[in-house]
Amino acid sequence: MIVVSDTSALCYLILIGEIEILPQLFGQILIPRAVAQELNAEGAPMTLIHWIVQPPDWLEIRLVTSVADSRLLELHQGEREAILLAEEIGADLVILDEKAARNVAKERGLNLTGLLGILEMATIQKLIDLPTVVERLQNTSFRASPSFLKSLLDRHSS
């Protein structure tokens, strides 16, 4: 399975100590260079910077050769390049969290998921304890509607 990610899911999975669920779920993850630069940007948490400076073997950083059209210009650089990379390589899945990026990806016919979708997949495969992981996620700057989080937790309660 060919999977491309933007910055958000990587960032939060690193911050909550669950980044290893990505290779467990998908094997390899591809990111555009802009995502690597965002993880290493000035002001980023040191945890992210240390991680991306020596990325794991399962992460491949790719240069995007496509030119963005006007619809993509409203997105952040990492989101824009993730969508372009997914299109260039015919990715099976692109990981995006921001609503605007998700809307553009859907319009372009890409299959997508977000961080919470990844956590749900990991829960189904018994890779994580969802309530514990959601609690750690809520201690970061990640935002999701309380009703959506409750629904996710309710679907997977024992």
| In the chain, where the domains are located | 3-155
The 8-class DSSP code of residue 117 comes to: H
Tell me the fold of 3-155.
Answer: Rossmann fold (3.40.50)
66 within 8 A of 84, measured Cβ to Cβ:
yes
**Residues 6+ positions from 77 with CB-CB distance below 8 Å:** 34, 37, 38
Q: In angstroms, rounded to a whole number, what is the distance separating the alpha carbons of residues 143 and 140?
A: 8
Question: 97: which 2 tokens?
Answer: 């969290």
First-to-last alpha carbon distance for the chain, in angstroms, is 30
pLDDT at residue 69, rounded to an integer: 84
In the chain, which stretches have pLDDT less than 50? none
The 8-class DSSP code of residue 129 comes to: -
Strands 3-5 and 93-95: parallel
What kind and span of H or E run contains 52? helix 46-53
Q: In angstroms, rounded to a whole number, what is the distance separating the alpha carbons of residues 76 and 150?
A: 29
